[in-house]
C-alpha cells in the first residue's frame, strides 16, 4: 500500500511540475511572438521589401515591353519601307 501511495505522490508532483513548466514556456513564447514593437517592425519591413520588389518588377517589365515594341516596330517598318514616314 505504501508503494502505491509513493508512486501516486510522485505522479502528482511530476504532473504539477510539468504543468508549471508548460505555463512558464507558454508565457515566454507568447511574449516573444506578440511583442507589439517587434511585430510592427517585422510586418513593416516585410511590406517595404514586398513593395520594393513589386516596384522593381514593374519597372523591369515596362522596360522590356518598350524594348520589345521597338524591335517589333523596327522589323515591321523594315518589311514595309513605305510606312517609315508614318511611324516617325
Q: Which residue has better confidence, 83 or 19?
A: 19
- Domain map (residue ranges) of the chain: 1-34, 36-88
Tell me the chain's radius of gyration from C-alpha atoms: 35
Is the C-alpha dihedral spanning 28, 29, 30, 32 positive or negative?
Answer: positive
* Model pLDDT, residue 38: 75
Going by pLDDT thresholds of 50, 70 and 90, the confidence category of residue 36 is: confident
List all residues 6 or more positions away from 76 whose beta carbon is below 8 Å from its beta carbon.
Answer: 83
Q: How many residues does the chain have?
A: 88
pLDDT digits (tens, 9 = 90+) for 41-87: 888 888 899 899 999 999 999 999 999 999 988 888 778 777 666 65
> What is the predicted pLDDT for the residue at 87?
52
pTM (2 d.p.):
0.45
Of the listed ranges 4-8, 12-16, 33-37, the one predicted with least confidence: 33-37
Q: How far apart are CA 31 and CA 36, in angstroms?
A: 9
Amino acid at each position: 500500500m505504501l508503494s502505491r501511495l509513493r508512486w501516486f505522490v510522485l505522479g502528482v508532483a511530476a504532473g504539477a511540475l510539468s504543468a508549471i513548466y508548460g505555463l512558464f514556456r507558454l508565457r515566454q513564447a507568447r511574449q516573444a511572438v506578440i511583442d507589439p514593437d517587434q511585430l510592427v517592425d517585422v510586418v513593416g519591413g516585410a511590406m517595404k521589401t514586398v513593395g520594393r520588389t513589386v516596384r522593381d518588377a514593374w519597372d523591369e517589365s515596362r522596360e522590356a515591353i518598350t524594348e520589345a515594341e521597338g524591335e517589333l516596330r523596327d522589323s515591321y517598318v523594315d518589311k514595309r519601307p513605305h510606312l517609315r514616314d508614318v511611324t516617325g
